[in-house]
Amino acid sequence: MPFTRAGTRPSAVTPLALLVAMVVTAACATGDAERSRRSAEVADLHGQFAEAKKNQDAASRERARLAEQVKAIDAQQAFVLVETKAVRQELDQLQREVGQLASALRELRLAVEDLERRAAAPPAASPAVAAKPGSGGAREASPEKLYASAMASFRSEDYAPAVLEFSELVDRFPQHPLASNSQYWIGEASYRQRDFRQALVEFQKLVDGYPQSAQMPEALLKLGLCHRALKDTAAARESFERVMKSYPGTNAASQARALLSQLGAQGRSAR
């Protein structure tokens, strides 16, 4: 084979160089295509991630909105539960008084029978000496008789005579065990007639005059309800907190806790 002056073989080297160049060029082209494909995939993944993040944020906002709705529904349910508990507790309290009322009613029945016998008998004194309603004979009524008669009027929703008899019991027998109960029912009569300002006065009399009364938790709870009805949220909150602090574990404390939660929910919705 002929050689050049430099001792090389140009006819063999040149094709090899061309082949190497072609391979390198092809490899570069393949690498560029792979990089472009991968860049496209990365960009697509970034787009998917951004869309997923957007959907996640929207879901979080919707979850927060639904949570607020659930809180509002819970507050409404708590209010209904409080009212139901109040009625149930009142019924329980009335049942506890059945024994006292039964004895008082028996005494009243005996008194009526005695009056009927006296009415059937010939008068022993001149008519001028006969007892008049609201005078001597009425003043002889025992605390039990007054309480039974007042409760009968109260249950018939005849609140005016009930309050008069409850008040007479409190005035005449302030230290009797039924006196604090009577004061509570005086306040309750005003509350049921939606005279919340007068109810405040009457319930406060029980709180101030009978601090050891079994009616204290209920009286404090009703004070809070009266304040709430009169739009005095701060005073209502104070009364409910006092019930929870002073009488934990009572039905009144449970109701006060639910009412406090409701006040908080109302405050947030107002904002």
Fold of the CATH domain 75-119+135-270: 1.25.40
**Burial track 193-212 (b if 16+ CB lie within 10 A, e otherwise):** eeebebbbebbebbbeebee
d(CA 222, CA 216): 10
What does the domain layout of the chain look like in residue ranges?
13-65, 75-119+135-270
CB 230 within 8 A of CB 236: no
Scan for tokens 């306040």, then name that residue. Answer: 187
CB 254 within 8 A of CB 243: no
CB 258 within 8 A of CB 249: no
Amino acid present at 86: A
Those residues with Cβ within 8 angstroms of residue 173's Cβ, 6 or more apart along the chain or in another chain? 143, 179
168: pLDDT strictly greater than 90 = yes
188: pLDDT strictly greater than 70 = yes
Highest mean pLDDT among 4-13, 114-123, 218-227: 218-227
d(CA 214, CA 248): 14
User: For the segment 209-220, what is each residue's pLDDT rounded down to a tens digit?
Assistant: 999 999 999 999
d(CA 218, CA 101): 21
Give the mean model confidence (pLDDT) for residues 208-231: 95
CB 199 within 8 A of CB 166: no
DSSP state, residue 57:
H
pLDDT classification of 30: cutoffs 50, 70, 90? confident
